[in-house]
Structure 1
Amino acid sequence: MQDSSKFVVFTVGDEEYAIPIESVLSIEKLEGITPIPHLPTYVKGIMKVRGELIPTIDTETILYDRAMEASDSVRVIVLRTDEISLGVLVKEAKEILDIPAEVIKQVGLVAYQKTSYFTGVANLDSRLITIISPTVMVKTLEGIKEIQEYMESQLQEADSKSH
């Protein structure tokens, strides 16, 4: 087992969260999100990143049931999971941090179904950083299968138009 792992640390609301760096493709400025009707409220729409269309979700809606306010510090962390690539809206992408394995505590909340994607809490000097598993988060979000199907149908349409 590794002694430490690299995480991308970001804020949502007033709290700090982290995602393992191997899941992160890029961190982008928030621009050009196309809203899609009838998708769950946490889905802001679709964004084009390096020629690929990806659904973009609002972490503030997922975690706190309120929409994220637009500001210059808002970033989109582009993640790749086994199921889907997606953009995750965060209030601010702060840093890439090496977190030693011994400071990561398992949280009792992992058993709570709605937050099963919280895999632990890093207890650093004056900071508590909640670690999120993107793969588990994607599996637990309601409606993600429909989004996946929608994205696949868009790709197929684009393919059939280009032939």
Structure 2
Amino acid sequence: MSEHETTNDFLEEDNDHDLLQLVSFEIGVEEYAIPILAVQEINRMMPITRVPHSPAAVEGVINLRGRIIPVIDMRKRFGLKPSADEGDARVIVVEVGNVGRVIGFTVDRVHEVLRLDKTIIDPAPTAGNGVKADFICGVGKLEDRLLILIDLERLFTREDFIDANGLAA
């Protein structure tokens, strides 16, 4: 596998051959991105109804125009402490194929929609013990920052939702 190759379909989906269109956002001090085609909408924080006995990262559910959507707290999912400032927090609503439904997840701040040339993307790094975070499919090298590319299919596994009192499809 070459330096810029990946086994992930994430980098193969774009119709502009060499460009990815992404939505970038912040969780903690890191900046992440997902394909814009996966995003259904981005909303300001709204009331979230807690669901008893749901998995730890499931914050609860929201009613989005008559649709009940589970919401994942990405700070919890990544093992971070809750944020003291929720002023810029957003809920990104995406469709995740492996779970078979629409899911919302909270982020600290949404940055921008950007187009990223595939040639500036490196494969996902591995940790010192040789294990890489399964949900990271690459790292985009921008002029002044790094952008961690997330594979939603790997980030949100079906097991995350099985015990969530009907949250699984």
Task: Please give the root-mean-square deviation of Cα atoms over the aligned residues, in Å.
Answer: 2.1
Runs (5+) with no aligned partner, structure 1: 154-163
CA deviations over 1:38-86 (Å, ceiling 9, x no partner): 1122111001122211100011111134234451200000010112211
The answer (yes or no) to whether the contact 2:95–2:102 under 8 Å persists in 1 is yes
Q: As a proportion of its length, which structure holds more helix?
A: 1
In the alignment, is residue 20 of structure 1 matched against residue 38 of structure 2? no
Residues 32, 142 of structure 1: alpha-carbon distance in 2 compared, 3 angstrom cutoff? same
1:86 aligns with one of 92, 103, 120 = 103
Distance 2:22 2:28 in 1: 19
Q: Match of 2:122?
A: 105
Distance 2:37 2:126 in 1: 24
Q: Match of 1:143?
A: 160
1:34 aligned counterpart, secondary structure: coil
Q: Match of 1:45?
A: 60
The answer (yes or no) to whether the contact 1:12–1:92 under 8 Å persists in 2 is yes
Q: Match of 2:9?
A: none
**Structure 1 residue 107: Cα displacement:** 1.7
Q: Match of 1:63?
A: 78
2:78 aligned counterpart, secondary structure: helix
**Structure 1 residue 138: Cα displacement:** 1.2
Seq. identity, %: 28
Instruction: State how many pairs are aligned.
Output: 150
2:45 aligns with one of 30, 53, 60 = 30
- Using the size of structure 2 for normalisation, the TM-score is 0.80
- Using the size of structure 1 for normalisation, the TM-score is 0.83
Q: 1:93-132 counterparts in 2 under 5 A?
A: 93-109=110-126, 112=131, 115-132=133-150
Residue identity matched to 1:150:
G
Distance 1:138 1:117 in 2: 8
**Structure 1 residue 144: Cα displacement:** 2.0
Residue identity matched to 1:93:
V
The answer (yes or no) to whether the contact 2:90–2:106 under 8 Å persists in 1 is yes
